[in-house]
Amino acid sequence: MEHLQNAILALVYHYGYAGLFIGLVLGNIGFPVAAELLVPVAAALLARGRWDALAAVVVVALAGELVGGTLGYVIGRFGGRTVAERYGKYVGFHYERLDGMHAFFGRWGTFAIFLCRFIPMIRGLSPFVAGIAEMDLVPFYLWTLLGSALFCAALALLGNALGVHMHAVLPELRRWGYAVLAVALVAIVLLVLVARATSRRIAPPSA
């Protein structure tokens, strides 16, 4: 899998935005592409401190997320568990993980799509599980768009800030990316829990 990730990074080095787009499409149909590494590297290489180029990185990354998410959803919707059984082993996707994700979706509903955007490895499998569950397209695209926008923007800003120092910190970059995503995910979950508690507190008593 490390060879695949190196190949994806090479796509960005050689083909720029097109490589970023292809890498994120693959990452959203189950391939073990480390998006938390790919996006900041792309931002450091392509943006070089220019805000217009940084915005282009985010837009291209978001397009790759949506196209890949669409493909993953279609594969899950029309291929179902048969695809997971036949091909899942090639990308490290087994029934145990599928059942675990079903339980996660059962707990959080469609909002699970948003949360999964911030969880490495799981994020690339969530469109497939949403397809199997035949999730409505409106919440699927809404949560995918919002989660992917925050995910890509945060990591692009990190890569842009590192800039020319990217090569020096590349071995630690994934850990930094995990830290950024973990903080964002915890903050989002806390906000959701507080909002739910507040709404219950102010809800009028039933007659």
The per-residue pLDDT for range 168-185, each reduced to its tens digit, is 555 555 565 556 556 655
Q: How far apart are CA 101 and CA 95, in angstroms?
A: 10
Give the residue, 104 or 58, on which the prediction is more confident.
58
| Residues recorded for the chain | 207
**Residues with Cβ within 8 Å of residue 127, at least 6 apart in sequence:** 28, 29, 68, 69, 70, 71, 72, 73, 76, 113, 140, 144
Q: How many Cα atoms sit within 13 Å of 83 on the Cβ side?
A: 18
Q: Is the pLDDT of residue 202 over 80?
A: no
Give 53-58's long-range contacts (Cβ < 8 A, gap of 24+).
Answer: 54/156, 54/157, 54/160, 56/17, 57/17, 57/20, 57/152, 57/156, 58/149, 58/152, 58/153, 58/156
Handedness of CA 30, 34, 36, 42 (dihedral sign): negative
Tokens in use for 179?
Answer: 């830290």
Model confidence pLDDT, tens digit, residues 77-126 = 888 777 766 666 655 666 666 667 777 787 778 888 988 888 877 888 88
For the chain, give the percent of residues with pLDDT over 70. Answer: 66
**pTM given for the model:** 0.76
